[in-house]
A and B are shown apart, each in its own frame.
Chain A
Amino acid sequence: MTTPHRPVDALAALAAADPARSAAFDPASPRGRAVLQRAKAAAPTSGARRRRPRGTALATVAVVGLAGLVAATAYVNTRRPSRTLDVGCYAAPRLDADTFVVRADARTAVQACWRLWRSGRFSPAPTPARLTACVLPSGVVGVFPGGAEACARVGRPLAPARAQAEPRVAALNERLDAAVRDAPCMDEPTARGLVQSVLADVGLSEWTVVVARPYQAGRPCTTFAVDEPERRVTLVPVARR
């Protein structure tokens, strides 16, 4: 006869098996400061991040609720996105809704998200009748189900109707992606030379090249981060894949 396993023993065994028990991260170390800089580099400029006063946002929502379509179409504040490479496709007109991030490539942001909806990626949510592109606090385009009122609901300005990736930035990104595919482990000098060459080719010579954190034995290879608002390419050391 076997003895039933006591839950307390099993849970103690699981608690002891914590894979991160020896992991540590010092935010004040050079490594910690480098990650902080990466986080800030991915953040918008303060001007783009500043929100409308809460009262204004609430008033906007109230007006939309009361006046319906007329008020919704009155929310015509349009802004150009500062980051055009990535598009956030949202499952619902809420900033905390499920999101897929896709590349804009040659399609408009709305077209890129329609493809996801049609492929059933948002299932079981029903396919909406319309999608609308808004500019998120980060400067990225977010595409929400609904018409112009969707941007008002999330408190963001509309994006231009044909918002899509800036062609030179898209070309830069495509060339760097291809380089990573072709040369899976590029060291820093090679990566830096490649980026400078591609920047010149696509007409972005004024951009700069920076390194996210020191290269180490465990991270000898490079991946690239294109920072459109700051006009720079960051070399990010990564482990060999």
Chain B
Amino acid sequence: MTEAETERGGFEALYARFADHVFRYAVRRSANEADAEDVLAETFAVCWRRLGDVPAGKELPWLYGVARRVLANQRRSSGRLDRLRARLQSEQIVGRSGTAEDGMALDVLDRLPEGDQEVLRLALWEGLAPSEIAVVLGVTENAVYIRLHRARQRFAAAFGQAGGGQR
């Protein structure tokens, strides 16, 4: 097997294992599934180019980190952030049609600083441990603990003020 064939095999194995995770990561941060597919394709294009840089045992957090930068670049370069915000406001985002409490929780999350939002999403929706969140965000594990603690406090306070859970 040539070096190129070995790399292709490794790449496709990564895709088979993690494409679903990366897709759902993108869905949570995109306006629709078509945009999420674009993010998925670009993330794995980067993975293909940098296959030698993927850390063993931390593949998924590394891919999330790439997807995060892909999303940021897309928003910067094409004004998607504004469109995404507009769609969020009109509640057309994928999966927004949940319970009233879901909607309230998501609205409260949208109003938090972006850093708080991301660390909460990574912990609660992607289910990452602080050491894995550190890989995604490129910060120390200690910094993640601090950010997570503050974000949880701020979210709980805002959710309470919005009347969440008062049923």
What is A's interface to B at a CB cutoff of 8 Å?
4-7, 9-11, 13-28, 31-32, 35-36, 38-40, 42-44, 46, 49, 51, 96, 99-102, 137-138, 218-219, 238-239
Contact = CB atoms under 8 A, between A and B. Distances in A.
A104 to B, nearest CB: 13
A17 B105 contact: yes
29 contacts: A5-B157, A5-B165, A7-B155, A10-B155, A10-B156, A10-B160, A13-B159, A14-B155, A16-B101, A17-B103, A17-B106, A17-B109, A18-B28, A19-B94, A19-B95, A19-B106, A22-B95, A23-B24, A23-B33, A24-B20, A35-B41, A36-B19, A39-B45, A40-B45, A42-B42, A43-B49, A101-B73, A102-B77, A137-B50
A234 B141 CA distance: 42
A26 B18 CA distance: 10
Given A14-B120, A22-B95, A23-B27, 20 more contacts: A5-B157, A5-B159, A7-B152, A10-B159, A15-B125, A16-B101, A16-B105, A20-B24, A20-B27, A25-B20, A27-B20, A38-B41, A38-B45, A42-B41, A43-B45, A49-B49, A99-B73, A100-B77, A101-B77, A138-B45
Given A13-B105, A18-B28, A27-B20, A36 B15 contact: yes
Interface string B142-167: 00000000001101110110001100
Contact of B48 (A10, A22, A25, A43): A43
B164 A25 contact: no
A4 B161 CA distance: 9
Main secondary structure of the interface of B (DSSP, over half): helix
B113 to A, nearest CB: 15
Contact of A18 (B45, B48, B95, B101): B95
B7 to A, nearest CB: 8
Interface residues of B, number: 58
Closest 7 CB pairs of A and B: A5-B160, A19-B95, A25-B23, A39-B44, A42-B45, A7-B156, A17-B102
A219 B24 contact: no
Contacts of A219: 34
Nearest to A19: B95
Contacts of B1: none
Interface in B105-135: 105-106, 108-109, 120, 124-125
B165 A9 contact: yes
Contacts of B102: 13, 16-17
A38 B157 CA distance: 43
Given A27-B19, A100-B76, A39 B94 contact: no
A230 to B, nearest CB: 13
A119 B43 CA distance: 28
Contacts of A25: 19-20, 23-24, 40
Given A14-B124, A35-B37, A44-B49, A27 B16 contact: yes
B133 to A, nearest CB: 15
Interface string B42-62: 111101111010000000000
Contacts of A17: 98, 101-103, 105-106, 109
Nearest to A239: B34
A32 B95 CA distance: 21
Given A25-B23, A39-B45, A15 B160 contact: no
Contacts of B94: 19-20, 23
B167 to A, nearest CB: 11
A14 B41 contact: no
A101 B101 CA distance: 39
Interface string B68-112: 010001001100000000000000011110100111111011000
